[in-house]
Amino acid sequence: MSMQNLDIRDFRRALSQFPTGVTVITTRDEQGEPVGVTASSFNSVSIDPPLILWSIDKGAHSLATFENTEFFAVNVLSRDQVETSNRFASRGEDKFKDVEYTQGVGDSPLLSDYSAQFECKTWAVYEGGDHLILVGEVIDYRYRDSNLPLVFTRGSYSVSSQHPSTVTYEKPDQSGAFISDYLLYMLRESYNRFSADLYPLLQAKGDVNPEEWRILAMVRDRGAITLEALAPIVMQPEVALLQTIDWMVDKGLVQLQDNTLALLPEGRRRADELLALAKQHEAQVLMGLSEEQSLQLKNGLKVIMASHA
């Protein structure tokens, strides 16, 4: 492929296969006002000296502030901070309204909720095409081990979970007696195993990836829906959701009008076909259970979910 004919949309999609965390980078502008942007480009660079980096879009409103600031803070978000991520990804004037924070080095805002926090002194600013690369020397840091981090991949917010075990459930390890009878472990293993079968099936039979499948199923259930309402249900920030929808429009599955998404006849047909496929797959998953046992299992899970709503 000649990179001169780079398909930007496709390139973005390739890059999004690499999962990242999500941070809010904060500082103060020249007037002393707090400034913050959501950034997933954060990464570690060096241990000695302790350096980190992130990159900022040259089109960002806060570009000049970050380019010239002496200090900034990196707030690594926890999995409960999707709303915070969306808020700082917007162009809103008043991003800090109702956000709890304290002052760090150089008065950079330190969000009260975080998974980790790095207070930095600007170490270098490099050119990086349509971005600037900002390298910071870490002056202070802290983290909360019990706060699971927020993950971002394929345009969706996600949570990290331990990789499925290679120990088969049929032959549990003796030392794993507790684990193999522990509900959380069983739920996660069941989910991991069955979703691993389902997604390739949906791709092969319906030419949809997991993100597109979620949107199709949701719009089929709820009818036409605004992007604002859909984004939190499918756990995508609106910019990323627009990109996913762009692909679905190209495939003739959906139409977007006045910010409202609706299924086209082909989208409805595909959704019905895939829902039938998912039901079939579910029947296979439940094959070892009687009808009554399946019902009890589902009812039990509904009670658990409702009690944690």
Ligand X SMILES: Cc1cc2nc3c(=O)[nH]c(=O)nc-3n(C[C@H](O)[C@H](O)[C@H](O)COP(=O)(O)O)c2cc1C
For the CA atoms of the chain, what is the radius of gyration? 23
The CB density around residue 173, as the number of other CB atoms within 10 Å, is 11
Which of 104, 109, 206, 237 is the binder for ligand X (CB under 6 A)? 237
Q: Is 158 in the site for ligand X (CB under 6 A)?
A: no
Q: Cα(234)–Cα(220) distance, rounded to whole angstroms?
A: 13
Q: Is 55 in the site for ligand X (CB under 6 A)?
A: yes
Report the nearest approach of ligand X to the CB of residue 152 (Å): 5
Decide whether 104 or 155 has the Cβ nearer to ligand X.
155
Which of 114, 118, 152, 213 is the binder for ligand X (CB under 6 A)? 152
Segment 69-98, which members bind ligand X (CB under 6 A)? 85, 89-91
Q: Is 245 in the site for ligand X (CB under 6 A)?
A: no
- Stated as kind and residue range, the H or E segment containing 301 is helix 291-307
Cβ neighbours of residue 87 under 8 Å, at least 6 residues apart? 95, 99
- Length of the chain counted residue by residue: 309
Nearest by Cα to 281 from 208, 194, 189:
194
Q: Is 38 in the site for ligand X (CB under 6 A)?
A: yes
Nearest by Cα to 209 from 12, 2, 13, 3:
13
Size of the site for ligand X (CB under 6 A): 20
Q: Is 41 in the site for ligand X (CB under 6 A)?
A: yes
Report the nearest approach of ligand X to the CB of residue 52 (Å): 13
b (16+ CB within 10 A) / e for 278-290: beebeeeeeeeee
Paired sense of beta strands 116-128 and 131-143, if any: antiparallel
- 3-class SS of residue 230: helix
Report the nearest approach of ligand X to the CB of residue 103 (Å): 20
Decide whether 56 or 253 has the Cβ nearer to ligand X.
56
Q: Is 29 in the site for ligand X (CB under 6 A)?
A: no
Q: Is 243 in the site for ligand X (CB under 6 A)?
A: no
Decide whether 155 or 206 has the Cβ nearer to ligand X.
155
Window of 56-64, 76-84, 164-172, 179-187 that interacts with ligand X by CB under 6 A = 56-64
Decide whether 38 or 108 has the Cβ nearer to ligand X.
38
Q: Cα(15)–Cα(21) distance, rounded to whole angstroms?
A: 14
Report the nearest approach of ligand X to the CB of residue 39 (Å): 3
> What does the binding site for ligand X look like in residue numbers (CB under 6 A)?
22, 37-41, 54-57, 60-62, 85, 89-91, 152, 237, 239
